[in-house]
Amino acid sequence: MTVLGEPGDIKCVIGLMSGTSMDGVDAAMIYTDGTRLERRGPSLTMPYPPRLRDQIKEGLRIAASAGSSGDAPPAIKVLEQDLTDYHAAAVQELLGVTGLAAADIDLIGFHGQTLTHRPDRGWTWQIGDGGRLAGRTGIPVVNDFRTADVAAGGEGAPLVPLYHAALLAGEKRHKTVAVLNIGGVANVTWVSFKNGPEPEIVAFDTGPGNAILDDWAEIHTGTPCDTDGQLAARGLSHEEVVMGLMASPYFDEAPPKTLDRDDFNVQGVRGLSAEDGAATLTDFMVESMVAAQSHFPSPPDAWYVCGGGRHNKTLMRRLRRRLPVLVDPVDVLGWRGDALEAEAFAFLAVRSVRGLPLSLPSTTGCPVPTTGGVLNEPRQRAYHV
């Protein structure tokens, strides 16, 4: 079996992503057969209103104490309905932009919102009602992408690497590339075409991403992120604190490996000023990304950065200072850095209905290439894609 599979019919698919940064829903339309990207349609982001963002935060707190057994508490069920309806509104908004109707869309890839990710306990929890979304939109929906991988013994993340590899298949500038996604948690995909047309892929979570810095900024400024890295730019980084945080055994563990949103938190910089804390956390993020190089089979020719973290000018400047090769946002490749994960779950939705792998032993640690996802059909649309 090849990594990406054989070509198939091109589908018009909408991907939906709500990440651990909890800032909103990214929606993106692509045309794909699950092995290659034919072309992109429009994309958009619908920021969460404060009320829904607060609900999600409360959901994280409830999930952390609920454990892996038993029914979801009533507050989580309400959150799941509200979150699903907000995703349905994002689909309708995207259709309004395109002028297309629901009947023109073959499939939706619906990631949902991660509340807890504990593959070491055989448990991952993404809320989002695929059946409800299918009913609200009139479009077949694939969701629950991670459970099958975790059940097979994998980490359940990251799942975007196969999409990175598909996009890089046409990239002629470099044979070996690291794609760094700085979301709430940061992850990297190392892709090499040095040994032929089939890519070699390694992927794992590098460490903390935007979440840790967002939490610090909100505590000290009331703003839910360090906009453009301005807070960190005014601060002094405490090297001894950074080195203490880097002493975590996670960074020495061999991949595949993955993290939950709150595996790293702001406790290590308590007592620092708002500016110094932001500067120190930013350097911690950078050093964890630099440390990821020790787990690559060979050095990459370039790093390309996606996710919200690429907008942080202080973070990007420090990354460029610490990494020995080109570091650029993925936008220079013609990719949509803010829509990339939404596109990826559209891509994975097609792979799911085709029975193609969503994960590999070298990306999640699953024993064999593993498919996943659950298809939900709207009642008024009886055929299968």
Distance CA(98)–CA(29), nearest Å, equals 10
Q: Is 317 exposed, middle or buried (0-12, 13-18, 19+ CB in 10 A)?
A: middle
The β-bridge relationship of strands 302-306 and 176-182 is: parallel
The predicted pLDDT at position 256 comes to 94
Distance CA(50)–CA(142), nearest Å, equals 28
Quick: pLDDT tens for 137-185: 999 999 999 999 999 999 999 999 999 999 999 788 899 999 999 999 9
Kindly tell me if the per-residue pLDDT of 2 is higher than 90.
Answer: no
- pLDDT class for 208, splitting at 50, 70, 90? very high
| 0.85 surpassed by pTM | yes
Quick: pLDDT tens for 304-346: 999 999 999 999 999 999 999 999 999 999 999 999 999 999 9
Quick: pLDDT tens for 31-88: 999 999 999 999 999 999 999 999 999 999 998 887 655 578 899 999 999 999 999 9
> Given this chain, do its domains 11-156+339-376 and 161-333 carry the same CATH topology?
yes
Q: What is the mean pLDDT of the chain?
A: 94
Calculate the CA 381 to chain-centre distance: 30
Closest residue by Cα to residue 122 from 160, 69, 76:
69
**Domain 11-156+339-376: CATH superfamily, name plus number:** ATPase, nucleotide binding domain (3.30.420.40)
Quick: pLDDT tens for 250-307: 999 999 999 988 899 999 999 999 999 999 999 999 999 999 999 999 999 999 999 9
The predicted pLDDT at position 64 comes to 82
Distance CA(347)–CA(25), nearest Å, equals 17
Domain chopping of the chain, boundaries = 11-156+339-376, 161-333
Quick: pLDDT tens for 370-381: 999 999 999 865
| Right CATH for 161-333 from 3.60.15.10, 3.30.2350.10, 3.30.420.40, 3.40.720.10 | 3.30.420.40
